[in-house]
Amino acid sequence: MTIKELEPKALWSNFYSLTRCPRPSKHEEAVRNFLVKWAKDKKIDCRVDKVGNVIMSKPATKGMENRRPVVLQAHMDMVPQARAGKVHDFLKDPIETKIVEDWVYACDTTLGADDGMGVAAIMAVFESKTIKHGPLEALITTDEETGMTGAFGLKAGELKGEFLLNLDSETEGELYVGCAGGVDATMSIPYATEKAPKDYCAYRLTLGGLKGGHSGMEINTGRANVNKLMFRHLRWVAECGLRLVSINGGNMRNAIPRDAEAVIAFPKEHTECILAEFDKVAGWVKKELSSVEPDFFMKYEKVRMPQNVICDADTQKIINLMMVAPNGVIRMSRDMEGLVETSLNLAIVKTTGKNFTVQALLRSSVDTAKEALAERLVCLAELAGGTCKLSGAYPGWKPNMQSPLLKTMKQVYKKLYKKEPAVVAIHAGLECGLLGGKYPDMDMISFGPTLQSPHSPDERANIPSCKKFYDYLVAALEAIPEKK
């Protein structure tokens, strides 16, 4: 069986089409063109705004003209992550899928159900001739995963809807009414190089096999950050004449980094001792993380000695910086049990020839806490003789427990499934925060099917939950109240 044969076919056939269409963040041209052509073929009104968002509209079905207008919202891009050793060009290659019991996976890459499933649901609703609904709009945003530039760039007044259904959550049976805000931080630490000492040798140190995952949804799972582990290994031998040559760890700001490699140099006479110490540290890490990161590995191999190395003082400075840099959960919510309030993901580290850079994503449901954490990084960078640039800040989404839309959505869920949905907030960046700033009177709810391990090659979509999600969406559209 292929995913095109799964039920509901309207949902899965559209998702299959999206798997054929490359759509990594910052490279949405192909999927945007696909959506525009699809809408034209279906005779659906469609336009593209100045920042690349796709906006569609569909009139109400007969007898539903007086219902409050609804915006269905999802994002077109996906996080491009492949398992180590997997050859996959996200700019050209389709996502290949497989069905394992009740789950759909990709073959050693991210699946793109985040948020392809939301886009597929919008397509299914808009092409349907039988679903009952009031006036509809669709907002399919661009570049959500690496900066929310589509939501940032959307002009006030583009949409006419009063209710917005964000189809970008990842646990069926939960209605999201609030989310964390975020800000990007980029630390840049200059370093000096010198000619490599003649009595030195060079090795490539590689760490990998970690689970990674979503830096908001899974930041509290205890999963390891490979960049922190790398510098833990280096710190253990830092006083043995170690020189850093280069380092590259992580590749997505909103994914917990899984793989890293560093080229290092050290005195030949210390080779046996240093490699033994690396083995020792790796053994400690494996033991500490055995329950959560069973596939962690460390390996090293001798490489050609480079002409230049980073000088001793700056090597030590970079190692010390990464050892003390905060990472992971900073504070849990005081208001909602089990919810992360503030976190930081040290996502990407690399050397550029002149600077050591660290890209981090900070999240918090409390704006002042987010700002305070950002200032910690600014101060840390300054202490290391560098700078820290803050950019791309976006607000959180404050819950409205008196929301008329929430009342309707709870009633519909209980009628369908004979139980109350959970009403929760999420420690991740939903576009509702930005959209609420542009449309302060728009009532919003976020929901979706059950997805696990988004932003990693273990990403999977639960098949029964996808059917429940779609059936719920269809029922909710029919139950939207009339205009006041």
Positions marked active-site: 77, 144
Upper half-sphere CA count for residue 326 (Cβ side, 13 Å): 21
The span from the CA of 394 to the CA of 433, in Å, is 7
In terms of Cα–Cα distance, which of 44, 22, 42, 43 is closest to 31? 22
Strands 443-446 and 70-75: unpaired
Tell me the two tokens of residue 398: 């404050």
Query: What is the DSSP secondary-structure string of 35-83?
Result: HHHHHHHTT-EEEE-TTS-EEEEEPPPTT-TTBPPEEEEEE--B---B-
Tell me the two tokens of residue 112: 């793109």
The span from the CA of 236 to the CA of 325, in Å, is 17
- Altogether, the residues listed in the chain come to a count of 484
Give, in order, the Cα–Cα distances in Å from 9 to each of 100, 418, 435, 464: 18, 25, 31, 13
- Which residues, including other chains, have CB under 8 Å from residue 439's CB and lie 6 or more apart? 156, 159, 164
Where on the phi/psi map is residue 17: left (φ > 0), alpha (ψ -120 to 50), or beta? alpha
Cβ atoms 42, 126 nearer than 8 A: yes
How many CB atoms lie under 10 A from the CB of residue 233? 24
Q: Which position has the token pair 């805000």?
A: 181
Tell me the two tokens of residue 316: 């030590």
Cβ atoms 114, 78 nearer than 8 A: yes
Tell me the two tokens of residue 42: 């279906």
Rg (CA), the chain: 24
**Phi, psi for 456 (deg, rounded to 5):** -140, 165
In sequence order, the β-bridge partners of residue 350 are: 248, 357
In sequence order, the β-bridge partners of residue 397 are: 179
Strands 340-351 and 355-364: antiparallel
The three-state secondary structure class of 385 is: coil
Strands 387-394 and 181-190: antiparallel
